[in-house]
């Protein structure tokens, strides 16, 4: 260096030069490497589900859980089967009583619907529609097309959103 | 959705909020803001380019993966520098390295890559001779800074190269404000000694 510094200037020059020191840049693709290794935030429910799945699927835990399940089933059957055999007449009585009651309720309901349809004249309308031929087929076709259109509409509405700012690396 | 240009006009906190929602553009904006200062700090601490790049990558991965735990009452820059400084100090404790290249990254193959990764000097309105002298002086200062003990080096770099406040440096280094001031004072004294040969 041609010009030497005075002692009093040295501090000033050092501080000035420190503030003017250049910056260094990392290599190309630095940001891409970092972004590719960043975990994206996910919904809490999904995270919990995955954690639970991972916890359960750990080999030692999975074997323990399966064994516990098998023991529970075996013990349950061991207790339940003899008890049910011992009380077979009671079970038979209860099941036939429940069946009879259900049948009676169903019969009553069917009768009520039938008498209501007769009172409204619905039976005559159905009878005349059955004899209408082409009109009935047209109505059925319209119903089918409407059903298919609704199904397609739902499929479009419920389609997963496309996230434009997610990189392929992040998605994988 | 904000574009990259929109993000540039936002403060760190807003960008962090977007990054927490998983926006890749926000991650990239935070990287764009801090990759050079963080890499420079780490590089000047460990003085090995490849190692500095690995540590800077680790720092950013740690930062971006832990955004949920970031507390907004602290400055984001302090948090980033704290993680970077810890990574560098841990590395220095493990091994000593002492080479500082002023050239581009070793894996840079093209001239563009070398240019992009080399030292980036600030624009100065100086004559070529003054610039040459300044560069020479800068190199000597780089060497002198490299001789400082790591704590002093961090303090001096954050204060005089990155222009951070004493309070922020105290936050970054988890030290009392008075200790930071003492470190900076001692570091300046040591620099003066190392550069004594420049005096008349």
Q: Do A39 and B56 touch (CB under 8 A)?
A: no
Residue B193 to residues B53, B135, B197: CA-CA distances in angstroms? 31, 20, 8
B119 and A CB contact within 8 Å: yes
Mean pLDDT of all residues in A137-157: 91
* CA B32 – CA B26 distance, rounded (Å): 10
pLDDT-wise least confident of B10-14, B117-121, B133-137, B160-164 = B117-121
A167 and B CB contact within 8 Å: yes
Work out the pLDDT band at B132, boundaries 50, 70, 90. low
Q: Is the pLDDT confidence value at B69 over 50? A: yes
Residue ranges of A 7-66 with Cβ closer than 8 A to chain B: 7, 10-11, 13-15, 17-28, 30-31, 33-35, 37-41
The predicted structure's pLDDT at residue B168: 93
Which of A108-124 are b and which e, b meaning 16 or more Cβ less than 10 Å from the residue's Cβ?
eeeeeeeeeeeeeeeee
- B8-19, pLDDT tens digit by residue? 888 888 999 888
Q: Is the pLDDT confidence value at A129 over 90? A: no
Q: Is A121 helix (H, G, I), strand (E, B) or coil?
A: coil
Mean pLDDT of all residues in B149-176: 93
State the pTM of this model.
0.57
Percentage of residues in chain A with pLDDT exceeding 70? 84
Work out the minimum CA distance from A41 to partner chain B, whole angstroms: 6
The predicted structure's pLDDT at residue B71: 85
In a mutational test of the B interface, the residue from A10, A12, A26, A47 whose CB has the highest number of chain B CBs within 10 Å is A26
Q: Which of B22, B146, B165, B16 is nearest to B88 (CA)?
A: B146
Residue ranges of B 20-79 with Cβ closer than 8 A to chain A: 20-25, 27-28, 31-32, 35-37, 39-40, 43-44, 49, 52-53, 56-57, 60-61, 64-65, 68
Residue B132 to residues A11, B129, B137: CA-CA distances in angstroms? 20, 5, 9
Q: Which of B172, B71, B141 is nearest to A21 (CA)?
A: B141
Residue A160 to residues A46, A156, B89: CA-CA distances in angstroms? 15, 9, 46
């Amino acid at each position: 260096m041609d010009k030497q510094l005075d002692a009093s200037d040295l501090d000033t020059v050092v501080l000035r030069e420190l503030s003017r020191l250049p910056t260094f840049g990392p290599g190309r693709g630095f940001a891409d490497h970092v972004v590719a290794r960043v975990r994206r935030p996910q919904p809490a429910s999904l995270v919990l589900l995955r954690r639970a799945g991972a916890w359960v699927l750990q080999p030692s835990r999975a074997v323990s859980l399966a064994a516990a399940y098998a023991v529970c089933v075996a013990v349950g059957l061991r207790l339940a089967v003899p008890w049910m055999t011992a009380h077979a007449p009671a079970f038979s009585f209860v099941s036939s009583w429940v069946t009879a009651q259900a049948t009676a309720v169903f019969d009553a309901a069917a009768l009520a619907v039938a008498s209501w349809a007769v009172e409204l004249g619905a039976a005559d309308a159905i009878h005349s529609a059955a004899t209408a031929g082409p009109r009935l087929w047209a109505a059925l076709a319209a119903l089918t097309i409407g059903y298919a259109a609704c199904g397609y509409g739902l499929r479009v509405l419920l389609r997963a959103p496309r996230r434009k700012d997610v990189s392929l690396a992040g998605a994988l | 959705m904000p574009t990259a240009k929109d993000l540039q006009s936002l403060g760190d906190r807003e960008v962090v909020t977007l990054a927490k929602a998983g926006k890749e553009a926000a991650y990239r904006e935070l990287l764009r803001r801090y990759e050079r200062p963080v890499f420079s700090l780490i590089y000047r601490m460990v003085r090995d380019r490849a190692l500095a790049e690995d540590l800077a990558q680790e720092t950013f991965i740690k930062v971006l993966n832990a955004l949920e735990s970031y507390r907004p009452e602290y400055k984001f820059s302090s948090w980033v520098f704290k993680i970077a400084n810890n990574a560098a100090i841990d590395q220095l404790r493990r091994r000593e390295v002492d080479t500082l290249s002023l050239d581009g990254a070793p894996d840079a193959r093209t001239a563009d890559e070398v240019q992009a990764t080399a030292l980036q000097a600030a624009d100065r309105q100086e004559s070529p001779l003054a610039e040459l002298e300044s560069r020479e002086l800068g190199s000597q200062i780089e060497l002198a800074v490299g001789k400082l003990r790591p704590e002093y080096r961090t303090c001096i770099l954050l204060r005089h190269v990155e222009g951070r406040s004493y309070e922020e440096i105290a936050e970054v280094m988890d030290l009392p404000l008075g200790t930071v001031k003492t470190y900076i004072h001692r570091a300046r004294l040591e620099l003066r000694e190392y550069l004594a040969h420049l005096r008349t």
